[in-house]
């Protein structure tokens, strides 16, 4: 009989750190093929429609950028949280609050038209997202609550608040009763990058700039060092004189501001008004993006494009094959599942052990749970 043993590596493996997302992606493709086959669709056809066709024309690449921009912006902020071992799961809510607060000017002061409007909106969006993220930070530092629960629950509060706003006080009086605000005036709309080629707007540029800046912060600056130390060994962080509570606020405010920026960019760029739903779950999908990108802002740019494709592919298979676009969710889930699984290979290597000498009745059981052993 054989059994598998996980042997701890003396050093983390740089090779598998880089390979892990690709292995995860390959496993996702295999599992996806099985899923399509079970749904009665030829997997090859399905993959072509899912992954190739949505990006075969220039205007489609613009759609990809529109979907990728919020994912990257949010995930870059989340990567700082997760590196600090702070679990902000509520980016979806911070995204929504960013959209709401950023929309204050175009909704309440539609006559105010000036080049100042857009920068103010973006700023307000960031403030809104950061302020909303400050709630779980305050609860955690003051009362020791679990930020996973509080940040997650605040998502539903934000969703319902938006829903109430667009049905109630902020509803467009001329909107025939539709639950939405007025269309933003031109000075409140995020311009498109190349209007002749496609719809992609400045949000994508914000995402790239944020990724580069956060990369510099994390890899070159003392603050990034502080994040990494507190995240990996909090006691050593305290010994270094870094404050954990300050870090909780820093991480939540930074990620909240970036999620808020993503929110107002989406509302002002891709949508042009507030609606009851302004996000197809970007705040949650960005969690996958952050991990698929190895919590590295540059990796997150690539991962954001991949996850954006799963959205487009989901829409494509729905219209072409009549499969529910929930397929996109399944792909996203599998990708996260496999990438977390593959990360084991960074710290452990797998060894096959043949148990030829042991008596069959005592050791015939294949050990499903691998033994973890320290190298020393």
Which residue, 368 or 375, has its beta carbon nearer to other proteins? Answer: 375
Task: Lay out the site mask for other proteins across 203-232 (x = CB under 8 A, - = otherwise).
Answer: -----------------xxxx-x--xx--x
Which of 240, 277, 350, 366 contacts other proteins by CB under 8 A?
Answer: 240
**Beta carbons of 287 and 91 less than 8 angstroms apart:** yes
Which of these ranges, 238-246, 257-265, 279-287, 315-323, lies near other proteins under the rule CB under 8 A?
238-246
**Beta carbons of 131 and 97 less than 8 angstroms apart:** yes
Which residue, 199 or 347, has its beta carbon nearer to other proteins? Answer: 347
How far is residue 26 from each of residues 22, 38, 56, 64, 208, measured CA to CA in Å? Answer: 6, 19, 21, 21, 26
Burial of residue 135 (CB within 10 Å: 0-12, 13-18, 19+) is buried
Which residue, 45 or 245, has its beta carbon nearer to other proteins? Answer: 245
DSSP-assigned letter for residue 180: -
- Distance (Å, rounded) from C-alpha 339 to C-alpha 20? 6
241 binds other proteins (CB under 8 A): yes
Contact partners, residue 339, CB within 8 Å, separation at least 6: 20, 21, 24, 288, 291, 292
- Distance (Å, rounded) from C-alpha 319 to C-alpha 36? 15
In the complex, the smallest distance separating the C-beta of residue 338 from other proteins, rounded to whole angstroms, is 23
Which residue, 214 or 264, has its beta carbon nearer to other proteins? Answer: 214
**Beta carbons of 262 and 119 less than 8 angstroms apart:** no
In the complex, the smallest distance separating the C-beta of residue 224 from other proteins, rounded to whole angstroms, is 8
Which of these ranges, 89-97, 180-188, 235-243, 267-275, lies near other proteins under the rule CB under 8 A?
235-243
Which of 142, 176, 365, 376 contacts other proteins by CB under 8 A?
Answer: 376
246 binds other proteins (CB under 8 A): no
12 binds other proteins (CB under 8 A): yes
- Distance (Å, rounded) from C-alpha 289 to C-alpha 300? 6
19 binds other proteins (CB under 8 A): no
**Beta sheet of 372-373, edge-to-edge order:** 348-354, 2-8, 372-373
- For residue 247, report the phi and psi dihedrals to the nearest 5 degrees: -65, -40
Q: What is the CB neighbour count within 10 angstroms for residue 303? A: 27
Which residue, 295 or 309, has its beta carbon nearer to other proteins? Answer: 295
In the complex, the smallest distance separating the C-beta of residue 73 from other proteins, rounded to whole angstroms, is 23
In the complex, the smallest distance separating the C-beta of residue 368 from other proteins, rounded to whole angstroms, is 17
Which of these ranges, 45-53, 161-169, 237-245, 259-267, lies near other proteins under the rule CB under 8 A?
237-245
Which of 197, 209, 236, 372 contacts other proteins by CB under 8 A?
Answer: 236
Closest CA to 260 of 304, 210, 302: 210
Which of 9, 167, 171, 329 contacts other proteins by CB under 8 A?
Answer: 9
Which of 42, 45, 233, 245 contacts other proteins by CB under 8 A?
Answer: 233
- Distance (Å, rounded) from C-alpha 5 to C-alpha 371? 6
- What is the token pair recorded at 151? 């940040």
375 binds other proteins (CB under 8 A): yes
List contacts with other proteins (CB under 8 A). 7, 9-12, 220-223, 225, 228-229, 232-233, 235-241, 358, 373, 375-376
């Amino acid at each position: 009989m054989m059994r598998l043993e996980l042997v701890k590596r003396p050093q983390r493996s740089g090779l598998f750190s880089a390979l892990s997302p690709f292995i995860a992606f390959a496993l996702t493709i295999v599992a996806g093929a099985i899923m399509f086959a079970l749904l009665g669709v030829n997997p090859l056809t399905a993959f072509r429609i899912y992954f190739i066709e949505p990006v075969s024309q220039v205007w489609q690449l613009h759609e990809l950028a529109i979907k990728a921009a919020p994912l990257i912006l949010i995930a870059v902020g989340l990567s700082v949280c997760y590196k600090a071992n702070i679990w902000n799961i509520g980016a979806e809510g911070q995204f929504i609050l960013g959209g709401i607060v950023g929309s204050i000017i175009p909704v309440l002061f539609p006559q105010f038209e000036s080049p100042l409007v857009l920068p103010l909106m973006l700023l307000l969006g960031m403030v809104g997202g950061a302020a909303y993220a400050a709630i779980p930070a305050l609860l955690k530092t003051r009362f020791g609550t679990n930020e996973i629960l509080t940040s997650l629950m605040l998502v539903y509060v934000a969703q319902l608040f938006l829903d109430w706003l667009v049905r109630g006080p902020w509803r467009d009086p001329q909107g025939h009763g539709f639950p939405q605000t007025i269309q933003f005036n031109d000075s409140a709309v995020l311009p498109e990058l190349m209007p002749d080629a496609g719809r992609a707007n400045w949000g994508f540029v914000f995402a790239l700039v944020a990724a580069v800046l956060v990369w510099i912060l994390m890899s070159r600056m003392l603050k990034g060092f502080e994040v990494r130390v507190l995240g990996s060994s909090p006691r050593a962080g305290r010994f270094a004189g870094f404050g954990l509570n300050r870090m909780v606020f820093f991480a939540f405010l930074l990620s909240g501001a970036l999620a808020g920026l993503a929110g107002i960019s989406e509302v002002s760029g891709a949508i042009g008004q507030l609606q009851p739903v302004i996000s197809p779950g970007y705040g949650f999908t960005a969690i996958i993006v952050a991990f698929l990108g190895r919590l590295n802002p540059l990796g997150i740019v690539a991962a954001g494009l991949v996850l954006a494709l799963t959205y487009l592919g989901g829409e494509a298979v729905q219209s072409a094959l009549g499969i529910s676009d929930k397929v996109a969710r399944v792909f996203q889930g599998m990708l996260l599942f496999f990438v977390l699984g593959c990360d084991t290979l960074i710290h452990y290597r797998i060894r096959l052990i043949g148990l030829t000498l042991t008596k069959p009745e005592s050791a015939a059981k294949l050990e499903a749970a691998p033994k973890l052993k320290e190298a020393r």
